Amino acid sequence: MNRHGHRWLNDCVNLCQEIIQIPSLSGQEKELANFLQNKMLELDYDEVWIDEPGNVVGKISGDSSLPTIGFTAHMDHVSPGNEEDWDYPPYSGTRAKGYVHGRGASDTKGAIATQVYIPQLIRDSGVEHGDIYVFFVVLEEKGGYGSREFDKSPLDLVILGEPTSNNLRIGHRGRVELLVSIEGKSAHASVPSKADNPHYSMARFLGRLENLSMNKYNGRESSAAPTLYRTDQESSNVIPSKAVLTMDWRNVPGETTGEIKKIIGGMLPEKGKVEVNQEELQSYKGTNFIQKRERKPYVLPESDVFVSAIENGLTNHLEREVDVNWWDFATDAGCFASHEIPVVGFSPCEEKFAHTSEDRVSIDLMEVSLECYPVIIDAVSESTD
């Protein structure tokens, strides 16, 4: 293979730089959405539009007897934090040392920059394909509103652009953010006997939690981590009447939120309560909605016909073993999986750079992705013979 010889690589790198230069925090993706829509209108899509939730969607029509594939990544990114921590300014999109640098490069603008060119890659390779949707969603970092509201009905398979270093991902644990509260009785700290101090009840709960045996799934395990703690008091000489603990619970497939609440409820005193945390959000289109802090787990069997076809196709093409594994973090995949749509992760982005001040995407890996998309499409088309 020629180094940096791919026909679309330069366009792809330029686009990657441009889209990093357009900040797109969750709920503020409008400018980037309009930019991508215009870019996609210049390319060989049959249709390009922005849907109701604000996602940008491009459609390439194909043979209706072949599976319909959706390629997707998210437009929003987390805050860059302190600019001084960055070697390259977070919205510079600097190209240096074989990478494009900046916030969102690895999560997931590097994937967007490659997926945009899928119509060109299909045309150049002449690969047979069904309908293909390339869509870039909003508000992934805030719970997945864009994917949840996306019209999933045509899709037979989703290729998700969350970081995989051009390997395959076929599952992850879910995430449920819980608020555990315990009520007691307030009193002046000089007379603790008059109070029912909720700290002690919370301490007993935490002791039980530490020793809790977690549900398992095929060698993987759910986990529970207390993270934040607060009370209803500001004064250090008053015993509070309420203590609230925030918990981050990662659930294996099969463990539902209802089950988790039951497990926690069983460890709480009578005046204890557990609920899923939620927040009120607004999309850039002005829609207000309540978002539960909850991502669903998902897993595909390695024997899944799409997974094995794609794995074989990529192994042959790349002449290396392709790692088929789970992600450590949660993604939008659960939104699709709960509609019985298989989700396979494939992306040039690298997990180790996501959400860090070293955020970057490798130009070499982007080039490999550009080569691999037609291979993936071909493998999926062939798998239905």
List 29, 76, 107, 332, residue binding Zn ion (CB under 5 A):
107
# chain residues binding Zn ion, by CB under 5 A: 2
Q: Sign of the C-alpha dihedral, residues 344, 347, 353, 355?
A: negative
Contact present, 4 and 363 (Cβ < 8 Å): yes
Nearest distance, CB of residue 46 and Zn ion, angstroms: 28
Based on CB atoms, which residue is closest to Zn ion, 28 or 233? 28
Give kind and range of the element (H or E) at residue 205. helix 198-210
CA angle 19, 350, 160 (to 5 degrees): 70
Based on CB atoms, which residue is closest to Zn ion, 350 or 367? 350
Per CB under 5 A, which region of 46-54, 97-105, 129-137, 158-166 contacts Zn ion?
A: 158-166
Nearest distance, CB of residue 90 and Zn ion, angstroms: 16
Per CB under 5 A, which region of 95-103, 155-163, 261-269, 357-365 contacts Zn ion?
A: 155-163
- What part of residues 204-243 is at the interface with Zn ion (CB under 5 A)? none
The DSSP-derived string for 280-305 is EEE-TT--EEEEESEE--EE--TT-H
Nearest distance, CB of residue 378 and Zn ion, angstroms: 27
Q: Sign of the C-alpha dihedral, residues 358, 163, 313, 136?
A: negative
Based on CB atoms, which residue is closest to Zn ion, 141 or 196? 141
d(CA 77, CA 211): 36
* CA neighbor of 160 nearest in space, from 141, 135, 197: 135
Nearest distance, CB of residue 301 and Zn ion, angstroms: 24
d(CA 212, CA 203): 14
> Strand 168-169 relative to strand 324-325: parallel, antiparallel, unpaired?
parallel
Contact present, 198 and 182 (Cβ < 8 Å): yes
Residue number, nearest CB to Zn ion: 107
Report which residue type is found at 175. R
Per CB under 5 A, which region of 157-165, 196-204, 292-300, 377-385 contacts Zn ion?
A: 157-165
Nearest distance, CB of residue 329 and Zn ion, angstroms: 8
Contact present, 215 and 163 (Cβ < 8 Å): no
- What part of residues 159-188 is at the interface with Zn ion (CB under 5 A)? 162
Nearest distance, CB of residue 228 and Zn ion, angstroms: 22
Binding mask 109-148 for Zn ion (x = CB under 5 A): ----------------------------------------
Based on CB atoms, which residue is closest to Zn ion, 77 or 129? 77
d(CA 204, CA 221): 24
Per CB under 5 A, which region of 79-87, 105-113, 216-224, 251-259 contacts Zn ion?
A: 105-113
CB under 8 Å to 193, separation ≥6 — which residues? none
Q: What are phi and psi of 252, to 5 degrees?
A: -75, 160
Nearest distance, CB of residue 96 and Zn ion, angstroms: 23
Based on CB atoms, which residue is closest to Zn ion, 111 or 274? 111
Instruction: Give contact residues for Zn ion (rule: CB under 5 A).
Output: 107, 162
